[in-house]
Amino acid sequence: MHGVIAPPLIAFRNVDLAFGDHLVLGKLSFEIARGEIVCVVGPSGCGKTTALRVAAGLIPPTAGEVVFGGAPVKAPRRDVAIVFQDYAKRCFRGAPPRGTFRSRSRPLERRVRSGARGSKRS
């Protein structure tokens, strides 16, 4: 149908979040359409993870509202998952596993390693 605008998948509408006197999110408003890819970038401590927790219903906003699929988020959602930043950091304490950041512009090569126990595919 032409001319029909689909409602956003996620909408933050004037969301405030304060911990005591400390305002973490202030009048945060944005919309994300279904199928849209969004990247949240900012310095440590600016509220990125906190905004994700509010979107998932893990923390209620002090003011404003978050809407997911047309319904206000009032509690944790069973259809939303978050990998928290501390867990993600633990995955790469040393060097990342070999091949993790290979270019997707070329096909991956099949390599055969020879070792003391014979050949293995990698």
Exposure string (b/e) for 43-69, b if CB count within 10 Å is 16 or more?
Answer: eeeebeebbbbbbbbebebeebebbbe
C-alpha span between 72 and 35 (Å, rounded): 20
What are the sequence ranges of the domains in the chain? 1-117
- Would you state the pLDDT for residue 96? 56
Instruction: Give per-residue pLDDT as tens, 19-54.
Output: 999 999 999 999 999 999 988 888 888 899 899 999
Bridge partners for 66 per DSSP? 12
User: What is the model's pTM?
Assistant: 0.64
Per the CB < 8 A criterion, the answer to whether 18 and 47 are in contact is no
Whether the per-residue pLDDT at 59 is higher than 80: the answer is yes
Per-residue pLDDT, averaged over 92-101, amounts to 55
Whether the per-residue pLDDT at 91 is higher than 70: the answer is no
Per-residue pLDDT, averaged over 79-98, amounts to 62
Per-residue pLDDT, averaged over 57-78, amounts to 93
Domain 1-117 = CATH 3.40.640.10: no
